[in-house]
Structure 1
Amino acid sequence: MPRALLEKAKTLEPLNPNKSTALFGGKSSGILNWNDIAYPHWHKMYKRLVGNYWQADEVNMSSDVKQFSSLTTEEREAYLKIIGLLSTLDAPQTRTALLISLYATDPAVQSIMAVIAQQEAVHNESYSYVLSSVVSLDEQNKAFQLGRTDAVLLKRNANLVEQYNNFVDNPTMENILKTLVYTSLLEGMFFYSGFAFFYNLARQNKMVGTSTMISYINRDELEHGRFIAELFRATLAENPEYNTEDFTDWVYTHFQESVVLEIEWSNYVLEDVEGIDLDEMAGYIKYRANKMLRMMGLSEVYPEHVDNPMKWIRAYVDNFDGTKTDFFEQKSRQYTKTSDLNGFDDL
């Protein structure tokens, strides 16, 4: 494969057309007219992303403050470790989204990635917010150190770290495609054992404020994953020289390696948590991997896991296949500030 470094897109080039000639390495004026873009349906994606607006400190955490001390020791430890995991995933996503946009020569992609970057920043702030609600500053800081110190978490994140840093050092078309693969894994699979932990607490009527926050993050990540998968497919279609058997094998290999690491992490962090079946969780992780592969235009690698084995999760999170709902009487979800209501329980 050719390995020439891509140049960052120019901010304004008035001699170029407004509609980009390519997603990366193409030409465009830098002027964005949503009615004249290369992939018109991406305007709807942009609108959906913007419509998901929310802020962390508008979610009511009062019941969680009272409940945290009554959790089991295992639940409290898992809570802090999983927040530590999620923070190590969302913090670099803000920067990675911005880096991708710097090399995108399609202004629509630049705008969509800007919204994704902003939402990832909100997600990361939300982890600080929930921890500040329930534990001391020392315990908050310990949780945020886990991404640097926990051996299992370091192992789990190693491939992601390597690829993201490769993109920084060598911004080639190949590394953009590989970074989109890992971004798809991150948005569509890496978060999900952690999300499931908080939903499991919620179905026991524990830490409902935290699970509400997680459901908003989850909704965003589903949209991010959908767009990143489409961006991957479109970029590969525009650059067919990269659509090789070797590259496809690389994608499958890294998906399968990521599944193994995610299952290892979930076994480690959820081992003693009541209400979660680890075999079921492993199947759920494989189900999520299959789903992301299909979205990216590839084949499933776990034919025995095409259906969601943890169907109870559907009550807690928006999904692509059904009506957007929340988990209080399956009402249609609408983001509402707690200042406008007497807490989230009134939704």
Structure 2
Amino acid sequence: MGTSILEKRKLIDKTAPNRSTSIINGTSSNILNWDDVRFSWAYPKYKRMLANFWTPFEINMSQDIKQFPSLSEDEQNAFLKIIGLLALLDSIQTDYAGKVADYLTDSSLNAIMIILAQQEVIHNHSYSYVLSSIVTKQKQDEVFEFWRTEPILQQRNDFVTDGYKAFANEPNVENLLKSIVNDVILEGLFFYSGFAFFYNLARNQKMVATSTMINYINRDEHLHVDFFVKIFKEVLKEYPEYDTDELGRYVESSFLKATELEIEWARHIIGNKIDGVLLSDLEDYIKFYANIRCNQLGYDKPFPAIRNNPLRWIKAYEEVDFGKSDFFEQKSRQYTKVNYVDNGFDEL
């Protein structure tokens, strides 16, 4: 099987239809008409991502500013190092999204990817916003340097970025598919022990504003994972020769290694030092999400013995819906102002 090189989408093509002929390496005028797009799921995904729009400025940090000094030393250390990790991952993600967008022939998917990248920028801004609220500028700078000095972080980061680099350096179908597997690991697994830490603080009425922000990020990442999974499946549908046993083995081995790295990080940063989170439950929670993500991609669960989420309390904080209910302050934050049929503009 040859490896198909990816061609960048043309800025404009007068000879091509508006509706793309393929998700990659197809032809398209690059003119976006939402009523004439290749994939029926694209417009609902676009609407859903718009409905999630938020900015850090909306969140009042005054209570967290007062509470942070009263956290235990272990809690403060975990809080800052997890924020540092998230900042690194979302910085990488912003750039990766742009690189993938260049090769998506379909203009609607390119548009969604641009929104996705914007959301990653907002996530990164939120980490600066939190840190500038609770610690000095010097400490904030230290947090944004953790990725250079923490060996466990470097292992995790290299695991994902090596796959991204392979695609950036040699953009072909195989490397695109493998990089999407890495993306699903980054956005759908590597964030989740960190999210659990913040949600545990919130259920103990600690750092609620930060946890509210994490909830919004969690919702975005849920949509991002689903979007990349759809791209993965559409590419395989149009290029079935790449749907091989070798790819299946890559998915399985990648998730097994990623789970090992995430558990190692959880032991290092949380361990049994944080009240309310048993390390054994957190490890099973990580395996539980590895199962979910592999299933989403269309592959068997790597940890078939893990059938249930061991952190049942977390569902109240992870819940993803179309609107923006604030689980911590119980305020309605519904931005969806009109009800209209998907891909129709009659009721605007």
TM interval, shorter chain, is: over 0.9
Does residue 78 (structure 1) correspond to residue 62 (structure 2)? The answer is no
| Counterpart AA for 1:6 | L
Contact 2:251 2:294 in 1 (8 A): no
Percent identity of equivalent pairs: 46
The structural deviation recorded for 1:294 is 1.3
- Give the corresponding residue for 1:309: 310
Once the two structures are superposed, the pairs formed by residues 57-96 of structure 1 within 5 Å of their partners are: 57-96=57-96
- Say how many residue pairs are matched: 335
1:284 aligns with 2:285: yes
- 1:142, 1:328 → 2: CA distance? 29
Gaps of 5+ in 2: 337-348
Matches within 5 A, 1:20-99: 20-99=20-99
For residues 254-284 of structure 1, the C-alpha deviation after alignment (integer angstroms, 9 at most, x for no partner) is 0111001000001101022221111101111
Which deviations, in whole Å up to 9, do the C-alpha atoms of 1:231-275 show, x marking residues without a partner?
111111111111000111111110111001000001101022221
Note the alpha carbon deviations across 1:77-122, whole angstroms, 9 max, x for none.
0001000110111001111111101011011110110010000000
- Further displaced range: 47-56 or 292-301: 292-301
Q: Deviations over 1:5-53 (max 9, x none)?
A: 3121101001011111111111111011111111112100010001111
Counterpart contact for 1:17–1:28, Cα < 8 Å: yes
Aligned letter for 1:278? L
Q: Which residue of 2 aligns with 1:345?
A: none
* Structure 1 equivalent of residue 100 of structure 2: 100
Aligned residue number for residue 259 of structure 1: 259
Separation of aligned partners in 1, 2:49 and 2:319: 13
Is residue 315–residue 326 contact of structure 1 (8 Å, CA) maintained in 2? no
For 2:240 and 2:167, how far apart are their aligned partners in 1?
Answer: 20
Q: Are residues 226 and 4 of structure 1, via their aligned partners in 2, closer, same or farther at CA, if it must alter by over 3 Å?
A: closer
Superposed, which structure 2 residues align to 1:1-347 within 5 Å?
Answer: 1-271=1-271, 272-319=273-320, 325-328=325-328, 334=334
Counterpart residue type for residue 242 of structure 1? Y
- In the superposition, the TM-score normalised over structure 2's length comes to 0.93
Q: Secondary structure at the match of 1:298?
A: coil
Q: Aligned residue for 1:340? A: none
Over residues 42-70 of structure 1, what are the superposed CA-to-partner deviations in whole Å (9 max), with x where a residue is unaligned?
A: 10001000111100122110000000000
The superposition leaves residues 148-184 of structure 1 with CA deviations (integer Å, 9 ceiling, x where unpaired) of 2111110122110111111111111111111111111
Deviations 1:299-338 (A, max 9, x none): 2121122221111111112237x997543487765369xx
Distance 2:320 2:119 in 1: 18
Q: TM-score, normalised by structure 1?
A: 0.93
**Pairwise CA distance, 1:293:** 1.2
Deviations 1:162-214 (A, max 9, x none): 11111111111111111111111111111000001000100110000100000
2:209 and 2:218 map into 1 onto residues whose CA distance is 14
